[in-house]
A = this chain, B = another copy of it.
């Protein structure tokens, strides 16, 4: 039972989530040659104050631009 975890910024549109999990599921079905029904995708949405790139929080990067 492959599980794919997608960790990124918030996705506001439900349709975007629908397409994302469908496309990832299809890619996993091809790679593992396993039935679609056992592919699980979990989306994790991180607040901009909880992620840093290069040592700077995302929420600070935005403020500085």
User: Which A positions have Cβ atoms within 8 angstroms of B?
Assistant: 1-9, 11, 14, 16-28, 30-32, 36-46, 49-57, 59-60
Say how far A52's CB is from chain B's closest CB, in angstroms: 4
- A4-B5 in contact (CB<8A): yes
Of all chain B residues, which has the CB nearest A21? B52
* Chain B residue contacts of A23, Cβ below 8 A: 23-24, 26-27, 30
Chain A to chain B contacts (Cβ below 8 Å), 20 pairs? A1-B1, A1-B53, A2-B9, A3-B3, A3-B40, A4-B24, A5-B7, A6-B28, A18-B60, A19-B30, A20-B27, A21-B52, A21-B57, A25-B55, A26-B55, A37-B53, A39-B53, A41-B51, A42-B51, A44-B50
